[in-house]
């Protein structure tokens, strides 16, 4: 799955990517540099994801960073970036990425369908 996010992670001023299911379970995370503190993913991420209430896209700006959120077929994609990251380039890369994530979701479903029973 890391290959799918390669283009997003190569954009200037992007520091990390996280993909959560709609239930708030962490599916994938990749950070370009170590974080000063590891986020407590187990407890409050499901509450945050639930609070999004089906939004399609959000761009949250903080004092020194920015969080771009995008709804996908698998869940929510969260991209951590600096203030000077090109948001138009981020949106374009997400638009290109979404069909690839759909294929990953469809493939997982087909594998479960054809899985041998013991």
Q: What's the pLDDT score for residue 102?
A: 76
Q: Write down the pTM of the prediction.
A: 0.78
Q: What's the pLDDT score for residue 108?
A: 52
Which helix (H) or strand (E) is 44 found in, with range?
none
**112 contact partners, CB below 8 Å, separation of at least 6:** none
- Does the domain made of 2-113 have the CATH classification 1.10.3720.10? no
Q: Answer for the pair 9, 32: CB distance below 8 angstroms, yes or no.
A: yes
CA distance 49 to 81: 19
Which stretches of 41-109 are assigned E, i.e. beta strand?
57-61, 66-71, 75-81
Low-confidence stretches of the chain (pLDDT < 70) are 35-42, 104-118
What does DSSP assign to residue 114? T
Q: What's the pLDDT score for residue 50?
A: 84
Q: What's the pLDDT score for residue 42?
A: 62
- Whose CA is closest to 52, among 17, 24, 83? 24
Two structure tokens written together for 87:
């948001």
Q: What's the pLDDT score for residue 112?
A: 47
Q: What's the pLDDT score for residue 58?
A: 92
- How many other β-carbons are positioned within 10 Å of the β-carbon of residue 75? 22
Q: What's the pLDDT score for residue 70?
A: 94
CA distance 64 to 57: 20
Q: What's the pLDDT score for residue 68?
A: 94
């Amino acid at each position: 799955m890391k290959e799918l996010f390669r283009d997003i992670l190569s954009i200037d001023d992007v520091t990390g990517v996280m993909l959560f299911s709609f239930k708030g379970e962490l599916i994938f995370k990749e950070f370009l540099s170590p974080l000063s503190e590891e986020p407590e993913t187990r407890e409050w991420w499901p509450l945050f994801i639930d609070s999004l209430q089906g939004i399609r896209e959000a761009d949250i700006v903080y004092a020194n960073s920015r969080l771009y959120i995008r709804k996908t077929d698998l869940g929510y994609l969260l991209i951590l970036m600096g203030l000077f990251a090109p948001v138009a380039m981020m949106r374009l890369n997400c638009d290109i990425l979404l069909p690839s994530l759909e294929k990953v979701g469809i493939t997982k479903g087909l594998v479960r369908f054809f899985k041998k029973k013991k």
